[in-house]
Amino acid sequence: MNRIPKTIVLIATIAILFLMSPLIGLLQRMPWSGLTNLLGSDIILDAFLLSLFVSFSAALVVFIFGIPIAWVLARSNFSFMKLLRSVVLLPMVLPPVVGGTALLFAFGRQGFLGKWLNDWFGLTLPFTTAGSVVAAVFVSFPFFIVAVESAFRSINEDLERTAETLGASSSKIFLKITLPRIFPSILAGLALSWARALGEFGATITFAGNMPGETQTLPLAIFLALETNPEAALALSLVMIVTSLAILVPFRDQWLPSR
Amino acid sequence: MWLSNARKALNKTFSILVIFCLASFGCSKEEKEINVYAASSLTEAISAVIKNYEEIYEVKTKVVFAGSNHLAAQLRDGADADVFITANAALIEDLDFQEILEGFAYNSLIAVKPVEFVNKIFEPNDLNRDENLIAICSEGVPCGDTTKAKFGNVKADTYEMSVKAVLARVASMEVDLGIVYLTDLQNEPKVTAAWPQEITCPCVSYAAASKGGEGNDFIDFLDSDTAEEIFSKYGFSL
Amino acid sequence: MTMLELNGSLDLEHFTLKVKLEIKKNETVCLLGPNGSGKSTILKLIGGLNKLTAGDLRINTKVIDSGKTFIHSRFRNVGWVPQNQMLFDHLTVKQNIEFSPNSSKKEVSKLIELFDLQHIQNKKAGNCSGGESQRVAISRAIASKPQVLLLDEPSTGLDEKSKQIIYQYLKTQRGVATLLVTHDPVEAASLSQRLIILEKGEITQVGTPDEIKTSPATPYSASLVGLNFVPALANGLVAVTDKGVELILSESIQGQVNIVIPPKSIALYKEKPVGSPRNVLMAKILEIHHFGENVRINLDGQLNFIAEITNNAFEVLNLHKGDEVWAAFKATELITTPT
């Protein structure tokens, strides 16, 4: 291994300390003695299960729709693709609350699409778990697309062309050549967007509302508890940290490109 | 370039301020200033009160509006306020305030619907029906606790963190019914009473606390005729 | 029977590729040319990775690319082996070879044996050496039962064993029209019946290796077969090159000529030789290549040329890169052809 310059080590240490300190603060204030009581409460259990459901559903939706979008973005040369890419990445920079409001304008009962959904199918997304998933999908989409699009781009197109000259169908090429080669990036994208969906707060509370067992995910429960029951908020935060570590750490090798 | 321009502009403003200051008050060297933290449901009323107070007492007032719990949490964590006005008197208990004024104004809750829903006729029982989309304040925040005391178990679809959020839901017609402060009705033309309702309690009772000095003056002023007139004007009960 | 017919052009960034070529059913044709002459592009045209700007391309008399028609790579029945092999790294060697839907189990196992890949058939293609990769890539293309096989620099940078296996296959295989791109004239001459010389997008010469050796059409052709090629203006017994060098000829001739100086006819000296009516030029040694009994020396001076001398002479002269030497050759050794 190369020797790392001392200055680099110093700067990295400062950054790590900075990133660690809120976590330490959280753990330091944690009401360890009353933790079992707090964690056993229905509100926390509901929020935890709901958060798992919402974040994994969002990751699934993002996976299904994200791959085609990323593929189109990576492979089309139309000039409006640049514009399309900015639109797709917009949720990354948009404050989530604004995103939630925008979702209301689209899928809310008075939204231009929501109105139609409501009139024709009697379907309302706000105030339902499906609405929470929609909010989570919206904010986590770009993370998946960025990861997968760059993977699509990194594939040498001659590889696919070679497969074509061998007589393979485009679906065979996609499934046997393209997908396996970007698989690590797909996992990385999934991990990132899942994590983003788990932590989602602003768009969810704005679009889906706050209802225990239905739309009250862990971050919403934490926010509410922060004002009314700070100890419960800390316990909930611990649940979130442990959950995300439990999911992300075992798969670290998969979503971080190996050396 | 822009920096020097900004500095120039600042100097200009400053000199105008000084001239203005000299002309009107003879400018006390030590300008008195107090920090007020106030519940967001009081935004309009307290702003009007402060305007009067500043004129009479020649005290500069900085004010922060937010949910009572949120403000209390900030104060617990070391935020500095001379006056804390809350919709929940219990929040003052574990904070470091000396003088406390309770019940200087009350706010009643009312079930509302979007103005556009003129043709939708609601009755009190609609609050317990599944087919209506209903937004109320979350339990634990003052408007939520009072909603529960007054309306019992409402079949809500979303528990908002603030009464303003409930109001926004009704105003944007995302929900059919919401329970908000009576005072909000006056400020939001897109919202109207869901059915004729009498102004009754249980109500939110406001309390104010101060750390002494100018803060005490402010609290006393909240109890004055001028302030009471303002509170009534904005729809609060006394 | 003609298997492939290409007569068309393609606009490239720096020049237009204009090609007319034919390959017969059992024929191996080599495409030779300097870097950037458009060799690989021709393979891509045939493989369907590029589209003709004008003209047409036929395989087995069927038009596959013209103004009206463009048959997708998938349906062309062409085996393309690109220069960097393009193996499917995540698949095993065997999975690579059997990738084509046209492949048969029997053929695949035959190819694995033929290209000596049995011991690595379950190895991930990404872990193969350069030589192994090239053998896999060629097997994979052949397994797709192509009518035309396209090989892009198949032996560049390979180990000797892989080279031999591939050469062996190309020399014995029958029934597949093969177009092989290379820059190695020895490889070209040993593998193919016909050479096509491509320079800056244009075919400058077509012929058997012998034909090209005896009458190269351009300096590049001449350099391929190891001959020095000098265009000059002759006036009687003297010809002047475009750089003003005077060469003495053995026969009187008038007008523009191509002069070929066989490298073996050039003698080298450390001191200027005196008294003989020969062509004598001063030059600097650029490169020294040893092969077999002889040494080839690239010289740069008033003319760029190659001299070939024996090992003995080389040792006696004690030559080094950068040395200045005198090169002499008899007028009778020059081959002069009017243009």
C170 and C88 share one domain: yes
Residues on chain B touching A102 (C-beta within 8 angstroms): none
Omega prior to A250 cis, within 30 of 0: no
Residues on chain A touching C91 (C-beta within 8 angstroms): 176
C220 and C233 share one domain: no
**Does the CB of A177 have a partner CB in chain C at under 8 Å?**
yes
| pLDDT one-digit tens code per residue, C302-333 | 888 888 888 888 888 888 888 899 998 888 88
C98 and C139 share one domain: yes
- Band the pLDDT of A31: cuts 50, 70, 90: confident
Q: Which of C44, C70, C86, C100 to mutate to probe the A interface, most A CBs <10 Å?
A: C86
Residues on chain C touching A157 (C-beta within 8 angstroms): none
C72 and C155 share one domain: yes
Q: Do B173 and A110 touch (CB under 8 A)?
A: yes
C275 and C174 share one domain: no
The model's pTM is: 0.74
| pLDDT one-digit tens code per residue, B38-75 | 998 888 899 999 998 888 888 888 999 988 888 988 88
pLDDT of residue B30: 56
In chain A, domain spans: 1-30, 36-255
C-alpha C140/C-alpha C271 separation (Å) is 58
Question: Which of C195, C224, C253 lies at the terminal end of a domain, its last residue?
Answer: C224
| pLDDT one-digit tens code per residue, C202-214 | 999 998 887 887 7
| pLDDT one-digit tens code per residue, A125-146 | 899 999 999 999 999 999 999 9
Helices (H), C180-228: 185-191, 209-214, 219-224
Phi first, then psi, for residue C335 (nearest 5°) are -105, 115
Q: Which domain holds residue C31?
A: 2-224
pLDDT over threshold 80, residue A90: yes
Q: What is the DSSP string of A33-91?
A: GGHHHHHTSHHHHHHHHHHHHHHHHHHHHHHHHHHHHHHHHHH---THHHHHHHHHHHH
Q: Which of C43, C75, C78, C99 to mutate to probe the A interface, most A CBs <10 Å?
A: C99
CATH code at position C318: 2.40.50.100
- Band the pLDDT of A232: cuts 50, 70, 90: confident
| pLDDT one-digit tens code per residue, A148-189 | 999 999 998 889 999 999 999 999 999 999 999 999 899 989
pLDDT over threshold 60, residue B11: no
pLDDT of residue B26: 45
pLDDT of residue B15: 52
In chain B, domain spans: 31-106+203-233, 109-193
Name which residue leads in pLDDT, B93 or C225.
B93
Superfamily designation of domain A36-255: MetI-like (1.10.3720.10)
C25 and C173 share one domain: yes
C157 and C211 share one domain: yes
C240 and C172 share one domain: no
How far apart, in Å, are the Cα atoms of A158 and each of C71, C73, C83, C147, C177? 18, 12, 11, 21, 23
Report the domain count for chain C: 2
What residues contact residue A212 under an 8 Å CB cut-off, 6+ apart? A43, A46, A47, A221, B159
Q: Nearest-CA residue of chain C relative to A170?
A: C74
| pLDDT one-digit tens code per residue, B125-177 | 999 988 899 999 998 888 898 999 899 889 999 999 888 899 999 999 999 99
pLDDT of residue B13: 52
pLDDT, average across residues A58-84? 90
C-alpha B69/C-alpha B87 separation (Å) is 9
Question: Which of C188, C206, C224 lies at the terminal end of a domain, its last residue?
Answer: C224
Q: Do A161 and C49 touch (CB under 8 A)?
A: yes
Question: Which of C163, C197, C224 lies at the terminal end of a domain, its last residue?
Answer: C224
CATH code at position C17: 3.40.50.300
pLDDT over threshold 80, residue C94: yes
pLDDT over threshold 90, residue C36: no
pLDDT of residue C105: 93
- Band the pLDDT of A207: cuts 50, 70, 90: very high
Closest Cα partner for A98 from A173, A2, A207?
A207
| pLDDT one-digit tens code per residue, C232-272 | 899 888 899 888 888 888 888 888 888 888 888 888 888 88
**Does the CB of C100 have a partner CB in chain A at under 8 Å?**
yes
Architecture of the domain made up of B109-193: 3-Layer(aba) Sandwich (3.40)
Q: Domain B31-106+203-233 belongs to what topology?
A: D-Maltodextrin-Binding Protein; domain 2 (3.40.190)
